[in-house]
Amino acid sequence: MKTIGLLGGMSWESTLLYYKTINEETKNKLGKLHSAKIAMISVDFDVIETLQHKGDWDKTATLLANDAMNIEKAGADFLVICTNTMHKVANKIQSKINIPILHIADATAQALVKDNIKKVGLLGTAFTMKQDFYKKRLIDNFNLEVQVPSEEEINIIHKIIYEELCLGITKESSKNEYKKVIQNLVNNGCEAIILGCTEIGLLVKDEDSTVPLYDTALIHAKKAVELANS
């Protein structure tokens, strides 16, 4: 079994899901008392979040790359960055380590392609929805058509992520807002929805959508187990 490197804490609410899913999948795959071999560093998200909203991505890259190097030193065979947004600096992190990064967008896109999805809606932080680092990878590498919500909807989704979900708060009113956004994407022809922030799955579930939801945290975690046992 390979050792999975987890770079988490962004936020710890979703990192908890990663840890639980990875160990459950390992137990289901190997049986008995098996659990995953993990080397993990969980960061102080307040520091990262402040830098995100200042636009200081170089500083976030430096901080996370240092943590990634320590994860590698701890014996990890590959790295899982437990957040969608910080894959914006994945290439800079990769340049500082010798182990591969299991990219969350690749894992998600592979699941979509396998299910013959062509047009997909993308939810996430404003950074993920508006910038190209995530969308472009899906479009260029996997030939997917990616649609994002309106500017007003992006602001609503972003606010709920940072002010509620990252704090472990789930509100019915916020779920209803997300359901409206999802339905608008479906009405515009989306065959599935990417929950492109690892906290969104805490709020909306499959029963909240008329099309399949692809929870990136779950997909990423399960892919890590597959890679660890390959």
**Residues with catalytic roles:** 83, 197
How many Å apart are CA 111 and CA 172, to the nearest integer?
29
Angstrom CA distances, 191 to 121, 177, 206, 209, 228, stand at 8, 19, 13, 11, 31
Among 71, 140, 200, 226, which residue's Cα sits nearest to residue 81?
A: 71
How many Å apart are CA 212 and CA 130, to the nearest integer?
22
